[in-house]
Structure 1
Amino acid sequence: MESSLPSTQILDSGESAERKNEAKNYNEMMSTLPKAKGLRGNDYYLYQGFWYSSFFLEGLMSVQEHFNPQSTDIFVASSPKTGTTWLKALAFAVLTRSRLSGSTTSSLLIKMPHDCVPFLEFQVAQNPRIRDLAVPLLSTHVPYSCLPKSIISSSCKIIYICRDAKDTFVSLWCFFSAHQMSKNVEPLPLEEAFEMFCNGISILGPYWDHVLGYWRASLEFPEKILFLTYEEMKKDTAAHAKKLAEFMDCSFTLEEEEEGEVQKIISMCSFEKLSRLEVNKNGKLHLDTSIAIQNSLYFRKGEIGDWANHLTPEMGARIDDIMEQKLKGSGLKLPR
């Protein structure tokens, strides 16, 4: 049975006071960190080699200190705008398919994928009781080297997704620009954001270091970390849905495959299906926080190669050259 927990819960006064005190300590720590202007015009803070917004960093510091995973937990990990929403939907649908029988409706049809698979450093950091312990799926944008030690030292599994850096940058810029315009705030010019990205200054950046961290960990712990690319998933979604099921120890049976269960899940999690759902057209994520975001912004295009509609060939070549240089010797070659 899927969780009946509400999307938010009120913490008791003791917990609330403790969290306020922690937030004060985290803010004091942040005041000592190097800063740079972010895509939303806010400050990014350099912490343990990566750039974070204040809201994100506060949550990260909290989970680094307090989070204790279940041994069966599975984390969907990614740098922002690399296919996170789609991968969450697929992983959730695959893992919970046995819960559905008859006319029971999947939570994906009434809840946003980010609410079905809550963010460790956002939702869970704010309220650990928000998660459904019966569905051992969580998500994170945290770089591998910054994950809580309790996760790295555990038997938890991690599914990581990345994509071509050019499409990642464009999706990131379009996302934050749309969010700014929804608040009647002038977005950062593309050219300025591009220079920042190329210099490694982007949310959770440098992007190449984020990717390399999980890539190297996947080589060291292949039984614990599944490394995927958005482009390969789009190319053969059925094969990757089955790979996800096998990795999460819930492989599709021959009977399920014959009955078209894989294709049903792929169809339910498609961009076309999810983007047309009422909750994803009109709802908001992080509703009770300072960073409330329209769900519709998470469903822009989902297309490979859209970067060419925004960047010049020279800009595209520059990102390719940077990525080639940064990934050199790692054995990893991302699709272009």
Structure 2
Amino acid sequence: MENNENVLRRKLEMVCGVPLFWSIVEEWAQVESFQARPDDLLISTYPKSGTTWISEIVDMIYNNGDTEKCKRDAIYVRVPFMELIIPGISNGTEKLAKTSSPRLVKTHLPVQLLPMSFWENGCKMIYVARNAKDVAVSFYHFDLMNQLHPEPGTWEQYVEKYMAGRVAYGSWYDHVKGWWEKRKDHPILYLLYEDMKEDPKREIRKVMHFLGKDLKEEVLDRIVYHTSFEMMKENPATNYTMVPNDVMDQSISPFMRKGIAGDWKNHFTVAQNETFNEDYERKMAGTTLQFRTEI
């Protein structure tokens, strides 16, 4: 990588009030004009909400449970990250343009920033949402090791920034609510991370039906096993160990850290939890979207 110091740990920049990695903002015209295809499947999440997990599940369903096919390359090559453009390292839009159909496309964009071509082409979409507290903890550890994002500061500072939406991709609250509302008029399968942890086979079957596939029970069982946290954590095609250490330093925190519901209890103080709950009630008032913070 050329001139690491020019690329890494830079402050986030804004697109329509949403903070994003600086070079995504510089190349926003490329993202905005991205041409979706009618048979694209979009996988959308707020960061640290099970993106790699659902991506591996979908790739396995597309490949009828063939585990060897799913080890053909790293997950971020099999499911390109559309808006991620890093000079000299990655360009999601260019990668996808060269990918043959049917394409799997990953995004973290809030619903209002998604390129229009996805709506115009009626693309199917899967959205996974995870409870706000566990996302905060996971995102903090991710930002500690991910050199592409600004230094996260202390946990106390980070919780404040997170509640205010001053982290990459902006407000968790706006993100999950925006996609929840959009499912009313577009083919979006909206899944909850906690439901996936509770009964992965049930939720994988929902994905299978949504994709119009009919796999045998033994194939579903294989997918459940192959996409368990324990298996994915040891799989070089899913655990991001193929990413250079100077971009993601897994000695600080592994990319696949715990993958559980309720880890927030190990990080939030009583006072932080009370403040967070008050803020949460205010920001989530009026939505039918409900989350569990443990299972």
TM-score after normalising by structure 1: 0.75
- Specify the alignment match of 1:220 in structure 2: 185
> What residue is the counterpart of 2:224 in the other structure?
266
Residues 1:96 and 2:63 aligned together: yes
- Does the 8 Å CA contact 1:144/1:213 hold for their aligned counterparts? yes
Distance in 2 (alpha carbons) for counterparts of 1:282 and 1:225: 27
Residue 113 of structure 1 deviates from its aligned partner by 2.1
Q: Any conservation in 2 of the 1:80–1:172 contact (CA below 8 Å)?
A: yes
CA distance in structure 1 between the aligned counterparts of 2:208 and 2:259, rounded to whole angstroms: 23
Question: What residue number does 1:69 align with?
Answer: 36
**Given residue 159 of structure 1, which amino acid in structure 2 is its aligned partner?**
I
**2-side partners of 1:94 and 1:47: how far apart?**
34
| 1:61/1:319 CA distance change after superposition, 3 Å | farther
Contact 2:74–2:236, Cα closer than 8 Å, also in 1: no
Aligned 1:80-159 pairs, distance under 5 A: 80-97=47-64, 100=66, 105-107=68-70, 109-122=71-84, 123-131=91-99, 133-159=100-126
CA distance in 2, matches of 1:92, 1:62: 26
Displacement of 1:186: 6.9
Say which is worse superposed, 268-277 or 166-175, in terms of deviation. Answer: 268-277
Matched letter for residue 75 of structure 1? L
Amino acid at match of 1:118: P
Instruction: Give the distance between the partners of 2:283 and 2:248, measured in 1 at CA.
Output: 32
- Secondary structure at the counterpart of residue 97 of structure 1: coil
**1:64 Cα deviation after fit:** 0.5
CA distance in 2, matches of 1:171, 1:279: 20
Deviation at 1:261, TM superposition (A): 1.1
1:245 to 180, 203, 208: 208
Does the aligned pair in 1 maintain the 2:45–2:107 contact within 8 Å? yes
Q: Counterpart of 1:46 in 2: which secondary structure? A: strand
1:1-336 matches, within 5 Å, as 42-65=10-33, 67-97=34-64, 100=66, 105-107=68-70, 109-122=71-84, 123-131=91-99, 133-180=100-147, 188-221=153-186, 224-252=187-215, 256-257=216-217, 260-280=218-238, 283-285=241-243, 292-293=247-248, 297-336=254-293
Residue type matched to 1:114 in 2?
Y
Listed as ranges, the gaps of 5+ residues in structure 2 are 1-7, 85-90
Specify the structure having the higher radius of gyration (Cα).
Answer: 1
Partner of 1:6: none
State the number of aligned residues: 278
Q: For residue 308 of structure 1, report the CA deviation from its aligned partner.
A: 1.1
Q: CA deviation at 1:280?
A: 5.0
Secondary structure of the 1:211 match is helix
Q: Give the TM-score taking structure 2 as reference length.
A: 0.85
Q: CA deviation at 1:52?
A: 0.9
Q: Percent identity?
A: 27
Kindly provide the CA deviation profile for residues 28-59 of structure 1, in whole angstroms up to 9, marking residues without a partner as x. xxxxxxxxxxxx85312232231112023345
Runs of 5+ unmatched residues, structure 1: 1-39
Counterpart Cα distance in 2 of 1:318 and 1:175: 23
Distance 1:334 1:50 in 2: 24
3-state SS, counterpart of residue 139 of structure 1: strand
CA offsets, 1:174-196, max 9 Å, x none? 1111335x9xx975111111111
Q: In 2, Cα distance between the equivalents of 1:188 and 1:280? A: 28
Superposed CA RMSD in Å reads: 2.6
